[in-house]
Structure 1
Amino acid sequence: MKKYEYKCVSILGDGERTTRILNEYGQQGWELVCTCWIWHYFKREI
């Protein structure tokens, strides 16, 4: 069975800043699962 770790991050700013931050998390292996207003929920396999 796969195991995951999760992270919840608030990201404020314009589109370019948000894109840069999301790309940084993606390079670290985080997968964006959901967004709710400023909150972005990520998961990655352990």
Structure 2
Amino acid sequence: MFRFTALIGLIAVGFVAIEWMRTAWAGRRRAADGPVPASDAARASEGDTA
């Protein structure tokens, strides 16, 4: 019973680590793209995706 519980806990820790790496990678990628110009942000908020 204790080994099963420990295994479930280790799997959960693994998923947390994967999510942490994914969000860190997305943040670095977003920072590398630079700021979005105000005109593009305004058009995107209005629904214009062209």
TM-score bucket (shorter structure):
0.3 to 0.5
The structure with the larger Rg is 2
Return the TM-score normalized by structure 1. Answer: 0.36
Return the TM-score normalized by structure 2. Answer: 0.33
Structure with the higher helix share, 1 or 2: 2
Structure with the higher strand share, 1 or 2: 1
- With a CA cutoff of 8 Å and minimum separation of 6, indicate the structure with the bigger relative contact order: 1
